[in-house]
Amino acid sequence: MASPVLELKSVSLSFGENKILSDVSLVINQGDVLVLMGPSGHGKSCLLKLLAGLLAPTRGELIVEGHNFFSLTEIERDVLRRKMGMLFQKNALFDSLTSAENIGFPLNETTTLSNIEIEKRISRFLTAVGLAEARDRYPDEISGGMQKRLGIARALALDPQIIFYDDPTAGLDPITSRKIMELIISLAREQGTTVVAVTNDMNRAYQLGHKLAMVVDGELIVTGTPEETKQHKDPRVHQFIRGDLKGPLTAMLESADQNHDSGARHD
Binding site for ligand ATP (CB under 6 A): 15, 20, 38, 40-46, 89, 260
260 binds, among Mg ion, ligand ATP, none (CB under 5 to 8 A by kind): ligand ATP
Identity of the residue numbered 81 = R
Classify the phi-psi angles of 115: left when phi > 0, otherwise alpha if psi is within -120 to 50, otherwise beta.
Answer: alpha
Q: What gap in Å lies between CA 163 and CA 188, rounded to an integer? A: 9
Q: Which residue has the CB atom at the shortest distance from Mg ion? A: 45
Q: Pick the piece of the chain touching Mg ion (CB under 5 A) from 23-31, 52-60, 81-89, 126-134.
A: 81-89
The sign of the dihedral angle between the CA atoms of 36, 44, 125, 169 is: positive
| Burial of 218: CB neighbours in 10 Å, binned 0-12, 13-18, 19+ | middle
Residue placing its CB nearer to ligand ATP in the complex, 15 or 94: 15
Q: Are strands 59-64 and 4-15 parallel, antiparallel or unpaired?
A: antiparallel
Q: Please select the residue that binds Mg ion; options are 11, 33, 38, 45, rule is CB under 5 A.
A: 45
Q: Find which of ligand ATP, Mg ion, none residue 149 binds, CB within 5 to 8 Å per kind.
A: none
42: Cβ contacts below 8 Å, ≥ 6 apart: 20, 215, 216, 217, 218
Find the shortest distance in angstroms from Cβ 21 to Mg ion: 13
> What does the buried/exposed string (b/e) look like for 136-165 if buried means 16 or more CB atoms within 10 Å of the residue's CB?
eebbeebeebbbbbbbbbbbbbbbbbbbbb
Nearest approach in angstroms of CB 265 to ligand ATP is 11
Contact partner, 161, from Mg ion, ligand ATP, none, Cβ < 5-8 Å per class: none
Could you tell me the smallest distance in angstroms from the CB atom of residue 197 to ligand ATP? 12
- Closest CB to ligand ATP among 42 and 232? 42
State the burial class of residue 266 (Cβ atoms within 10 Å of its Cβ: 0-12, 13-18, 19+): exposed
- Closer to ligand ATP at the Cβ: 98 or 177? 177
Number of residues forming the site for Mg ion (CB under 5 A): 3
Distance CA 74, CA 70 (A): 9
| Residue 98: CB minimum distance to ligand ATP, A | 28
Minimum Å distance from CB 138 to Mg ion?
25
Q: Which residue lies nearer to ligand ATP by CB, 121 or 204?
A: 204
**What minimum distance in Å lies between the beta carbon of 20 and ligand ATP?**
5
43 binds, among ligand ATP, Mg ion, none (CB under 5 to 8 A by kind): ligand ATP
Cross-strand pairs, 9: 61
Interacting residues toward Mg ion by CB under 5 A: 44-45, 89
